[in-house]
Amino acid sequence: MEQLSVTRAFEGDLHRYKHSSSSTSTNMVFAIYLPPQAKNHPVPVVYWLSGLTCTDENFTQKAGAFKMAAQLGLAIVCPDTSPRGLDLPGEHDSYDFGSGAGFYVDATSSPWSDHYRMYSYVVDELPTLIEGSFPVSGKKAISGHSMGGHGALVIYLRNPGAYTSVSAFAPVVHPTAVPWGQKAFQRYLGDDKSLWDSYDATLLVQQAEISDPILIDQGSSDSFLEEQLQPDHFKTACARANVPLTLNLRAGYDHSYYFISSFIDSHLEFHAHKLID
């Protein structure tokens, strides 16, 4: 790994690294905040998955999460949202596909399948790297925003027992039924709809056996609410499967980091209940 920067925050340190990824066959960048407690003992980790167009820096610079993370003794890991530097045909043509829009899937269609393997990167490669390189425990939770909320829910549901808890802000909960997901899945995964279904939280949760609650916050003034997000689909599926869900509809809030920064503390506290003995 190559360290790109280190910045002190609330007596802890925010590190940024670049490394060669076997999942994407590219260099990948991630950030990790280590709270002050990490100087004395291993700490649990919250993995944060960002949304369309974002990098690791959107969360680290805008969410305002480090004060609470320092108080609770939580590390936070923020990966990028896609491979970078490839210049594949059409990769940079739109904000909702390609660069900055990996959708946390393992692509199966060419040319994306050689590099756009963000599911494997987040689930397997990155935690192995983090746990082998930093003073963290094996306990981890996952959260995210928008496309990253989709990724967090899918990863949690597909890997029972691997994460203590999951939460999301304005997640894409039913990607097979909305334009963002349909566009990405058609190009990354091709015509095999069974592959699409395996990355759809609303479909996955109906087959899950979960007793721990899922936490979602959604702004009522989010411009993407009706067309792209549709949290009621996930709420209905959770009810049918008897999966406990707390879905907070926050009056007047939009899709931005103003919304995230307003409620990030409650999400970290939610995860801390499971992460910290």
Q: Any bridge partners for residue 43, and if so which?
A: 136
CA distances 34 to 29, 121, 129, 163, Å, are: 16, 21, 15, 19
Q: Identify whether the C-beta of residue 75 lies closer than 8 Å to the C-beta of residue 34.
A: yes
User: Residues of the chain with pLDDT > 90: what percent?
Assistant: 98
pLDDT at 189: 98
Output the pLDDT for position 110: 95
Catalytically annotated residues: 146, 222, 255
Of 84, 119, 114, nearest to 99 by C-alpha is 84
- List the structure tokens of 83: 């491979």
Residues 102-117 have a mean pLDDT of 97
48 pLDDT above the threshold of 90:
yes
Q: What is the pLDDT of residue 100?
A: 97
Determine which helix (DSSP H) or strand (DSSP E) holds 141, and give its type and residue range.
strand 136-145
Q: Is the pTM of this model over 0.85?
A: yes
What CA–CA distance (Å, rounded) separates 183 from 181?
Answer: 5
Work out the angle at residue 157's Cα, subtended by the Cα atoms of residues 260 and 164, and round it to the nearest 5 degrees.
70
